[in-house]
Structure 1
Amino acid sequence: MDKRDLEVVIAAGGTAGHINPALALAEELRDRGHHVTFFGQTAKLEGRLVPEAGFELVPVVVSGFDRARPWTLVSSLARMRRAQSQIARRFCASGAPDVAVGFGAYVEMPLLNCCHRMGVPYLLHEQNSVPGLANKALAPHAEEVCISVPAARDAFERERRPARGVVLTGNPVRRSVVAASREAGRAAFGVREGQTMLLVFGGSLGAAHVNEAVCRLKGELLSREGLVVVHSTGADGFDDTVGDLALTPEEQLRWRVMPYISNMGEALAAADLVVSRAGASSIAEIAALAVPSLLVPYPRATADHQTTNARFLTDAGAAALVADDRLDEPVFAETLLGLLDDPARRDEMRAAARGLGGSDAAAALADEVERAARA
């Protein structure tokens, strides 16, 4: 088999934390001469991001089940079987792929189960320090599980879900992020030289508690001359945040509110400080561009894995951390305002972040995909 001419299928969906690493891999594989097709849900975020990146998205309809309502397992399994049958018919009609890759979430299960039944090798990529349910269920038949942080290896072992191999590749970051420049980013967001840019975002779905905590500091933040706030609220939090801020036309020049930032690479490159959740994709992108950050891990993440994710930066001195349950306490305002008022400390954090970024993670993961296909 010519390693330069593989048919690769990828399942990734739901959030940017799953989709963006998958797109980073797909871009690397495409550059190596391979053909990549995505499987996902058109109504979710992948329905927009995947076609925008120039890849075909094959529709898959699945749903998870609510453990608080166990009867939903019946409909979930029915949709899973139906999706698996549709994928099998597609492969029988047009040919099976050489290899498949799953990036977590339920959308990967019908694709990878179908591949297993048809003898197509598949790999898993785990972005977080604690594996998700789908990756744990599929790990025993995977050629390899590729992990972003060393802590995930122990997690797979504790779950007694051995794969044939566990490989540390890092978490792929899209080239549009890695290649972004401060100059282009500042031009894109209208931030002048000499101004300080604070970037606030909660991941692709937003973070209501973070939005509220930052809004309460409106007066303190805007009292700092030369500070510009770029605030991505998430689609669901946009109207509430705009209402809470009640910005005047003059204030809107220094506080830009938007539901979602599509050019996140430029936003990060332009920023002097980031306030963010600690999803795996966000951590990888912050590290890739060595941006000082104040991280607020999502408190209901499985096994508190966002706090473990955050330690990747905080242990290196590249970030500060405030727990979500302390957002309403003085410590959040003190930490945020203290970092804004201390450029020397931010310089130290930026220096500490350099070298943590996984700019070669996409290439490392692509190597494993090629290896699995040739096995």
Structure 2
Amino acid sequence: MTGRAGQGRLALIAAGGTGGHMFPAQALAERLLAAGWRVTLSTDDRGARYAGGFPPAVVRKVVPSATTARGGLLGRLTSPARIGAGIARAIAAARADRPAVVVGFGGYPTIPAMSAALALRIPRMIHEQNGVMGRVNRAFAPRVQTVACGTWPTELPGGVTAVHTGNPVRQAVLDRAGAPYDPPAEGPLRLLVIGGSQGARVLSDIVPAAVAALPDTMRARLSVSHQARAEDADRVAAAYDRAGVPAEVQPFFTDVPERVAAAHLVVSRAGASSLADIAAIGRPSILIPYAAAAGDHQSANARALADAGAAIVLPESVLDAASLTRDLHAILSDGTRAAQMAAAALSLGRPDAAARLHDLVTELAA
């Protein structure tokens, strides 16, 4: 028998590192809890920063980060031992309270959770958010029963087949899915800048300068919400102040769905979770893929929105303030074009992605 007597089935969700892994995991957790499941989240200290929005009923287990990708020589020497210890703890925990299914979303915590599922022959699946599969998910993809993908097409290891579910979005996004878009006209203009958890500095360098170069009449109507790293926040706020543009600058917005819904235009990195939010709500965007992303997966993520006419993509290789000013002005001065971009984004949204993923989990557990 799976799970504790008298209680619902247990799903172990493993995700870590970034919001791109954590937000889809949160969406699945919300859906499973509503269906009567118990949910345990296994994450690391980096992922825990994004766990505040998980429902209180989710049991949180924070595993020590251990990756050879960072930490220099000491990290490379100690990671195998820490990973081994994490796997041993995960096996012991799964024996004590056996999950009906284990779902990995990528990041280090997927390693011990999925390894325990393999050792104990627990049904298991992974969800890949990006158009290029991450290293951890790529390693486990041939060893799970189900692979679900958020971006389509996704580059997969040889011999692996997958189901396209889309990227699940949180309830706060679903609450605003398809919210009516107010195209830019003669009134106030609202710009949202979200950089994600990695590589946001270039947006802090370029976007305020691009905004400052907009025509005076447009800047007089503009307000900006800009997510910037804490070390950049003061200089970004000062740059907007010099440009005469009211701006709210914070390291992390807890109300991104509300800000996306209120925006006339979003400037964003091309992280899979951010794009899922933009598409579900339906807003025009200028996307700047993070050049250092593994396998250039953010460029792959952005392709569908660009091809549909929902977004302008500016690779970092050609990004400068002048090119961004040009594109900001082109969209904010043309309400018809902005509305067409918003509609194109909405056509790509998959607000039912969490339901699709929930169905796969239920089938696998059965």
TM-score by length of 1: 0.87
Cα shift at 1:312: 1.2
Deviations 1:331-365 (A, max 9, x none): 22211222122222101111222221110000000
Which residue is equivalent to 1:190?
none
Which residue is equivalent to 1:313?
305
Match of 1:62 among 62, 65, 69: 65
Deviations 1:41-75 (A, max 9, x none): 2x324245246532221121132113895774331
Match of 1:228 among 194, 212, 223: 223
Cα shift at 1:290: 0.7
What is the Cα-based RMSD across aligned positions, in Å? 2.7
Once residues 229 and 182 of structure 1 are traced to their aligned partners in structure 2, the CA distance between those partners, rounded to angstroms, is 22
Q: Provide closer, same or farther for how the CA distance between residues 214 and 139 of structure 1 changes in structure 2, counting only shifts above 3 A.
A: same
Which residue is equivalent to 2:114?
112
Match of 1:27 among 15, 26, 30: 30
Whether the 8 Å CA contact 2:283–2:343 is kept in 1: the answer is no
Q: What are the within-5 Å matches in structure 2 for residues 210-359 of structure 1?
A: 210-221=203-214, 223=216, 224=218, 225-243=220-238, 245=239, 247=241, 251=244, 254-328=246-320, 330-359=322-351
Paired residue type of 2:343: A
Which residue is equivalent to 2:172?
176
Cα shift at 1:141: 1.3
Whether the 8 Å CA contact 2:16–2:22 is kept in 1: the answer is yes
Which residue is equivalent to 1:189?
none
Once residues 171 and 34 of structure 1 are traced to their aligned partners in structure 2, the CA distance between those partners, rounded to angstroms, is 21
Deviations 1:201-231 (A, max 9, x none): 1113461111111121343358323211111
Cα shift at 1:328: 1.9
Q: Which stretches in structure 1 are left out of the alignment for 5+ residues?
A: 187-192
Q: Provide closer, same or farther for how the CA distance between residues 6 and 194 of structure 1 changes in structure 2, counting only shifts above 3 A.
A: farther
Which residue is equivalent to 2:191?
198
Which residue is equivalent to 2:133?
131
User: Does 349-358 or 265-274 show the bigger shift?
Assistant: 349-358
Once residues 168 and 69 of structure 1 are traced to their aligned partners in structure 2, the CA distance between those partners, rounded to angstroms, is 37
Q: Provide closer, same or farther for how the CA distance between residues 184 and 76 of structure 1 changes in structure 2, counting only shifts above 3 A.
A: farther
* 3-state DSSP of counterpart to 2:225: strand
Paired residue type of 1:301: A
Once residues 120 and 305 of structure 2 are traced to their aligned partners in structure 1, the CA distance between those partners, rounded to angstroms, is 41
Deviations 1:2-21 (A, max 9, x none): 99932100011111111000
Q: Provide closer, same or farther for how the CA distance between residues 258 and 361 of structure 1 changes in structure 2, counting only shifts above 3 A.
A: same
Matched, 1:209 2:194: no
Match of 2:84 among 71, 81, 84: 81
Paired residue type of 2:279: A
Matched, 1:7 2:10: yes
Q: What are the within-5 Å matches in structure 2 for residues 154-173 of structure 1?
A: 155-156=155-156, 159-160=157-158, 162-163=159-160, 165-173=161-169
Whether the 8 Å CA contact 1:8–1:100 is kept in 2: the answer is yes
Whether the 8 Å CA contact 2:210–2:322 is kept in 1: the answer is no
Deviations 1:291-349 (A, max 9, x none): 00011111111222111111111111111111112222632221122212222210111
Q: Provide closer, same or farther for how the CA distance between residues 183 and 318 of structure 1 changes in structure 2, counting only shifts above 3 A.
A: closer
Q: Provide closer, same or farther for how the CA distance between residues 236 and 86 of structure 1 changes in structure 2, counting only shifts above 3 A.
A: farther
Deviations 1:237-258 (A, max 9, x none): 3244235x1627x957x21111
* Percentage of pairs with the same residue: 36
Deviations 1:17-49 (A, max 9, x none): 1100000011111111111110012x3242452
Which residue is equivalent to 1:40?
43
Whether the 8 Å CA contact 1:183–1:270 is kept in 2: the answer is no
Once residues 181 and 225 of structure 2 are traced to their aligned partners in structure 1, the CA distance between those partners, rounded to angstroms, is 12
Whether the 8 Å CA contact 1:47–1:57 is kept in 2: the answer is no
* 3-state DSSP of counterpart to 1:38: strand
Cα shift at 1:146: 0.3
Q: Provide closer, same or farther for how the CA distance between residues 70 and 147 of structure 1 changes in structure 2, counting only shifts above 3 A.
A: farther
* 3-state DSSP of counterpart to 1:326: coil
* 3-state DSSP of counterpart to 1:58: strand
Q: Which stretches in structure 2 are left out of the alignment for 5+ residues?
A: none
Cα shift at 1:88: 1.9
